A and B are shown apart, each in its own frame.
Chain A
């Protein structure tokens, strides 16, 4: 009975959302600005084929990070939860893939409403974007197809909620999770991405090259809030919980590193000098982060672990994300190393405090994201030979971090409480002990362990 009720509630919420989007497709609404602008430009702009080709490649690279993340997370959880955990990442590809085309792009990159959220009716269902241009210069002479830009940005919207899944891994219901990421994407990601990138009030103020605040801090902080509210897994931390397959985790980390070139270098939305600069610092920070983590573990425990190595890689990559196009190469070296030091300390602190951020989403993404977003001001590349002062930039950076944390904390808390009380988000003890794979998906990931 309660089940049917909760299903009904979910259906109502979803229908409401659908109604909301359709209601806004008012045929009497004035034609969208972009359409008019394109007409006024009269002559169609030249398609920059170099940029288009690189952006198409980057789009594919960023999508590759999602299965990479699924492997990374899947390898870290216990055997009985491997499929359920990988499904969390794949579900984001599916659900956000649909939401982004319906209204996500319009909400993020439509004309701004008071600097907080975008809206462009013509861009709903990507209708207006089909055949339109995304201009690369003020004069509107060169462009890439708008669909490339929309799809590239859509990949960021997909990976962000997938990141959160690691914080409450091994203990959530699939149904509740699906509704959570859908609503989170609409109410946290889209406004935040609009504020920082899409023409909102921090666009052009706070430097966030490829998503330090929008993606890593928001996901990290949301994960922390959800993990604390939902509570620890049964038996944590007394019971030893072994990763199911660190080999898969390392392959996943490899895919993430490769995909990150698309993530950062693609965020230049160009194929030129800044693209190369972003790609270079990405490589440097990842390597510096990995080396630092190895050294810390070597000194502390006398052994460099595989999990430590990949943690260092991720810490470095996350820290350079907000900074990628704007810092000098030696800055990347420092940022990567600093990120590993702070993430290592944050995870040690988590173990002391005892909350169960299962796969350290806050410890890595939240902490390294904050380190990167703030510390980048000390390594800025001179602008046309003019050195940029860190004092001018540090406040906007703090503002970006605070806005991101604020929205993430408040909205995530509301969503988690609402969904947990209606549909149910935390899985009951018996289900948790049986494992997500068996309980929620009726399958098992590793056949060899269960002889037929």
Chain B
């Protein structure tokens, strides 16, 4: 089992979700977050340039069985890119997952995902 965590641009959330649904991955967790990679984004307030230290990002967490890892990663990769790829498009982390337990039934492992 793996945990696929993707940090993407908020405006690509819809596209990524559509791609995941197409790949038959429905169970995901999405959260709003802020972070800083290499991207910069200036905003103007009364002519004063403000460079936020942290930019708004969207985080997607997907717990999946081995056979779905590449499917999920590819779906996100293709959907989250702006054009041919821009600074700030985000990252995907794949980490191994020790245990997964469904609260309702107490089931464990691959079946619980």
Binding site for B on A (CB under 8 A): 80, 234-235, 239, 430, 433-435, 442-444, 449-452
Contact = CB atoms under 8 A, between A and B. Distances in A.
Contacts of B11: 430, 433-435
Contact of A430 (B10, B43, B52, B82): B82
A443 B43 contact: yes
Contact of B44 (A80, A239, A442): A442
A242 to B, nearest CB: 13
Contacts of A239: 14
Contacts of B52: 450, 452
B14 A449 contact: no
Contact of A433 (B12, B34, B42): B12
How many of chain B's residues touch chain A, expressed as a range?
Answer: 10 to 19
Contacts of A434: 10-11
Contacts of A450: 34, 52, 54-56
Given A235-B14, A430-B82, A434-B11, A451 B34 contact: yes
Given A430-B82, A442-B44, A452 B56 contact: no
A433 B14 contact: yes
A449 B32 contact: yes
B99 interface: no
Contacts of A234: 14
B34 A443 contact: no
Contacts of A435: 11
B53 interface: yes
Contacts of A433: 11-12, 14-15
A325 to B, nearest CB: 45
B33 to A, nearest CB: 8
Contact of A442 (B10, B43, B56): B43
A433 B14 CA distance: 8
A427 to B, nearest CB: 12
Contacts of B55: 450
Contacts of A442: 42-44
Contacts of B44: 442-443
Interface in B20-62: 32, 34, 42-45, 52-56
Nearest to A437: B43
Contacts of B43: 442-444
Contacts of A449: 32, 56
Contacts of B14: 234-235, 239, 433
A430 B82 CA distance: 8
Interface string B50-94: 001111100000000000000000000000001000000000000
19 contacts: A80-B10, A234-B14, A430-B11, A433-B15, A434-B10, A434-B11, A442-B42, A442-B43, A443-B45, A449-B32, A449-B56, A450-B34, A450-B52, A450-B54, A450-B55, A450-B56, A451-B34, A452-B53, A452-B54
Contact of B54 (A235, A444, A451): A451
Contacts of B10: 80, 434
A442 B44 CA distance: 6
Given A234-B14, A450-B34, A450-B55, 9 more contacts: A430-B82, A433-B11, A433-B12, A433-B15, A434-B11, A442-B43, A443-B44, A449-B32, A452-B34
A397 B97 CA distance: 71
Nearest to B33: A451
Contacts of B56: 444, 449-450
Nearest to B52: A452
A451 B11 CA distance: 17
A132 B41 CA distance: 54
A34 B45 CA distance: 47
Chain B CB count within 10 A is highest, among A433, A443, A444, A452, for A433
Contacts of A80: 10
Chain B CB count within 10 A is highest, among A444, A450, A452, for A450
A449 B52 CA distance: 13
A234 B13 CA distance: 12
A349 B110 CA distance: 46
A448 to B, nearest CB: 11
The 4 closest A-B pairs by CB, nearest first: A433-B11, A434-B11, A450-B56, A451-B34
A452 B12 CA distance: 21
B89 to A, nearest CB: 12
Contacts of B15: 433
B23 to A, nearest CB: 17
B32 to A, nearest CB: 6
A435 B10 CA distance: 10
B110 to A, nearest CB: 30
A234 B53 CA distance: 30
Nearest to B41: A438
Nearest to B82: A430
